[in-house]
Amino acid sequence: MSTAKVSVPAAAFLYPWDVIGDPAAADRIAALGVRRVTLASAYHSTRALTPRHPRHRVVTAEHSAVLYPPSAAHWAGSALRPRAAGDWSGGESDAFGAAAAALHAAGLEVHSWVVLAHNSLLGREHPDTCVVNAYGDRYPWAPCIAHPDVRDYLVRLAAEAAPRPGARGTELESLGWYGLAHLHAHDKIGGVPLGDAAQYLMSLCFCPHCRAGYAARGIDPEHLAGAVRLALAPAFGEGSDEHGHAAVDRLLGADLAARVLDWRTATAGSLQAEAVAAVRAAAGPDFRVLMHADPAPHHCGANAGVDPATILDVVDGLVLPCTGGPRARESVLGPLAAHRRQGTVLAANFTIAAGMGGSPETLAADAAHAVALGATELRLYHAGLAADSDLAAVRAVL
C-alpha cells in the first residue's frame, strides 16, 4: 500500500442513514483525513449496504425522497412535489439535519448532495413527465427537462434541498438530461453492447415538449425519430462500440446532429442557470455551488453533459468522474483546462469501494495524476458503502 500523501482537500460522500444510529460514524469519517462530507439531502431510490452500522446492514430507500421535511409554503402552486423519506431515514423527520449535526460535532464541514432529474417515483405518478425515446418507450426514471412542470420542480427542489441548515455548500447531481443508462430494478439491457454514441441516440427525447423544441430549430421530429431508428438498426443487430459526438455526426449527419445537440445543450444550460440562481438566492453569499458534470455535452446521466466554455460562468466548480484510469481522467479534466479561472473548483471523483469497481490502493497515484491535470479537490465515493480495508487504504494517503 502506498504511503504517498494527497496534497489537495478531500471530501467523502455519505447518506444520513450511515450516520444516524451509529455513534461512531462521524468520528470514523473524520479519522479518514477528509475535511468535509457531501451528505445526501435529496436522493433517488436505492438499496445500500451499511457494513459497519450497529443496527442494520442493508437500507432500502423505496422511492426518490427528500431527507428533510419539505416546506408546504415552498411547494404551493407546484404541479409536482417531492416525497419525504420513509423509515429508511433512520427514524428522523429531518435526517439530513440530524446527520449534519453529528458530523459537525466531529469537526467536519457539511455540504448537501442533491439528486435532481433522476426520479422513478415521479415517472410512475406522472408519466407525461418522462423522456420518450425514438421508439415511443418511456423512461420513468428520467424526467424530461424540457417539460415546464419538471423544470419548475427541479428549480424548487434545488432551492430547498441545497441550502439546508448546517450546509456550507452544495453539489447538484443529475442537473441535465438523463437517458437510457440507468440501473433500474433488475436491469437486463446489457445483452447488446452500446457505445456512448448509441446510448445518446437512445436517450434523445420525443415527448411533446421536445418535439416542439426540435421544430423550433427547424428539425422535423418525425424525420429525426426515423433517422435515429435507422442509425440504431445496425447497433441492435451486432452491438456498437462507437464513442464521441463525431460518431453521432456520422450516424445522423453532421448538420442534424449539431442542431439537435444545440437544442439539448441550450435547454440544459438554461435549467442549470435557473436552478443555481435559485440556490444562491435561497442560500445567500459564500455558499458554494458545485455540479456533477461531464464536459462531453452529449453525455447524459448523473454527471450531466455540459459545455466546458460556459458552465463555469454558472457554477463555482464541477465534480468530475475520474475512476477508470488515466484516459478517463484526461477526458474529463483536459477539456476544462482552457476555461479554469481563479477559484474554480475541479473535484476529481474516485470510487473507493473496491467492490464497486474502485481502486483504493492506487488512490495516491490516481489523485496525483488528477492534480497534475488541474484537479483542485478530491471526492471519495462512498465512505458509507466501502469496506474497512478500502477505508484503511484511504487513511494511508489522506
**Rounded-to-integer distance, Cα 105 and Cα 103, Å:** 5
From the list 291, 199, 316, 187, the residue with the least C-alpha distance to 247 is 199
**Rounded-to-integer distance, Cα 184 and Cα 165, Å:** 32
Instruction: Tell me what pLDDT residue 34 has.
Output: 97
Q: pLDDT tens, 323-372?
A: 999 999 999 999 998 899 999 999 999 999 999 999 999 999 999 999 99
b/e per residue 3-29 (b: at least 16 CB within 10 A): eeebeeebbbbbbbbbbbbbeebbebb
In the beta sheet, which residues pair with residue 196? none
Residue spans of alpha helices (H) in 79-207: 95-105, 120-125, 148-161, 196-203
pLDDT, mean over the chain: 95
Domain for residue 391, yes or no?
yes
Phi, psi (rounded to 5 degrees) for 33? 105, 10
Instruction: Tell me what pLDDT residue 1 has.
Output: 43
What is the domain-level CATH number for residue 17?
A: 3.20.20.80
Question: How many distinct structural domains can be found in the chain?
Answer: 1
Give the total residue count for the chain.
398
Q: Which residues neighbour 179 within 8 Å (Cβ) at sequence distance 6 or greater?
A: 131, 139, 142, 199, 200, 202, 203, 204, 300, 301
Domain for residue 327, yes or no?
yes
From the list 71, 75, 79, 167, the residue with the least C-alpha distance to 125 is 79
Q: pLDDT tens, 168-223?
A: 999 999 999 999 987 666 677 788 889 999 999 999 999 999 999 999 999 999 99
Q: Which residues neighbour 248 within 8 Å (Cβ) at sequence distance 6 or greater?
A: 197, 200, 201, 257, 261, 298
The interaxial angle of helices 221-238 and 208-216, nearest 10 deg, is 110
**Rounded-to-integer distance, Cα 387 and Cα 353, Å:** 7
In the beta sheet, which residues pair with residue 378? 10, 348
- Cβ 120 vs Cβ 63: under 8 Å: yes
Instruction: Tell me what pLDDT residue 3 has.
Output: 56
Domain for residue 1, yes or no?
no
Domain for residue 240, yes or no?
no
Domain for residue 343, yes or no?
yes
Low-confidence ranges of the chain (pLDDT < 70): 1-3, 183-186
Strands 58-61 and 138-143, how do they pair? Answer: unpaired
Domain for residue 251, yes or no?
no
Q: Which three cell numbers stand for residue 106?
A: 466531529
Cis peptide preceding 382, ω within 30 of 0: yes
Domain for residue 332, yes or no?
yes
**Rounded-to-integer distance, Cα 180 and Cα 232, Å:** 14
Dihedral of CA atoms 273, 274, 275, 281 in degrees, nearest 10, equals: 110
For residue 175, CA distances in Å to 135, 276, 385 come to 25, 10, 24
Structural domain boundaries enclosing 356:
10-191+289-397
Tell me the CA end-to-end span of the chain in Å, nearest whole number: 13
Instruction: Tell me what pLDDT residue 190 has.
Output: 81
From the list 110, 118, 134, 146, the residue with the least C-alpha distance to 14 is 110
Residue spans of alpha helices (H) in 162-285: 196-203, 208-216, 221-238, 245-252, 254-283
Domain for residue 15, yes or no?
yes
Does this model's pTM top 0.85? My answer is yes
Say whether 66 sits in a helix, a strand or coil. Answer: strand
